[in-house]
Structure 1
């Protein structure tokens, strides 16, 4: 169900209708809470800037504010909520683009296992007579494969 209005405004009534529609789409309670929270944050931003009227300019300004406050993945999640609301309302011309995020092929060094941590994991598995676990740890660390790829070895 979409409702095209000539004067796009972020109103509580429309947000409530959108949340009801999402519930009917069987979204989880956590999703509904997140969407309500993010749309409220957009409303607060719009109020602080003098109007609840949605324009491409106001949405881009909100996006820029989000960029200054949050990690790119969080910004994109909040933009997805706003864009979903805009689509629901039939205001497709107001949709803003998500940030382009380049995926890193490697983890940051602080997330890597140290040699000491690796040895401790293997020894603990062996001490607990969990030979299979020990071999799995050694295989993953030696080859760099994903857990889901273990079945091919």
Structure 2
């Protein structure tokens, strides 16, 4: 473990992290993405020693530029790196993402669209599809549950 005042992201440490990810059987795409995220963090730090304050500043910068899920993916890459290096105290918390239970009304099926779909299925003599559509629309059941 390095002293706190010299905690930096170096190409050698990034390579070590990539090798660790490979040993953990992560996909090559994941490893490439994590290396990219660490390289971007290194660019943000511009040679400055890593501190919790700078990492929080980087996180805020990400929040302003990316969707919450993307920010969390980048944080996961960096947190894994920090953990591997023994710098657990620098790890950042992921953003809390609230799941959307219902779609917006503009994405809902209208009654006219529903009737047209059922009628088309019946006209093509696909009774099973017509019944599936009616069941889904009447109960709200998911396709995977049906």
Which residue number corresponds to residue 27 of structure 1?
26
Q: Are 1:121 and 2:108 matched, yes or no?
A: no
- After TM superposition, the runs of 4+ consecutive aligned structure 1 residues lying more than 6 A away are none
Contact (CA 8 Å) 1:10, 1:52: kept in 2 or not?
A: no
2:10 corresponds to 1:5: no
Distance in 2 separating the partners of 1:103 and 1:129: 38
Q: d(CA) in 2 for partners of 1:31 and 1:110? A: 35
Question: What displacement does 1:30 show?
Answer: 1.6
Alignment match of 2:89 (pick from 74, 90, 93): 93
> Is 1:16 the equivalent of 2:15?
yes
Residue ranges of structure 2 left out of the alignment (5+ in a row): none
Higher relative contact order, chain-length normalized (CA < 8 Å, sep 6+): 1
When the two structures are superposed, what TM-score results if normalisation uses the length of structure 1?
0.83
Match of 1:57 among 53, 65, 77: 53
Task: Specify whether residues 141 and 15 from structure 1 end up closer, same or farther in structure 2 by C-alpha distance, changes over 3 A only.
Answer: same
When the two chains are superposed, the root-mean-square deviation of aligned CA atoms in Å is 1.8
Query: Quick check: 1:72 aligned with 2:68?
Result: yes
Q: Which residue of 1 aligns with 2:79?
A: 83
Shift of 1:119: 3.3
Alpha-carbon displacement from aligned partner over 1:27-47 (angstroms, at most 9, x marks no partner): 112211211221122122112
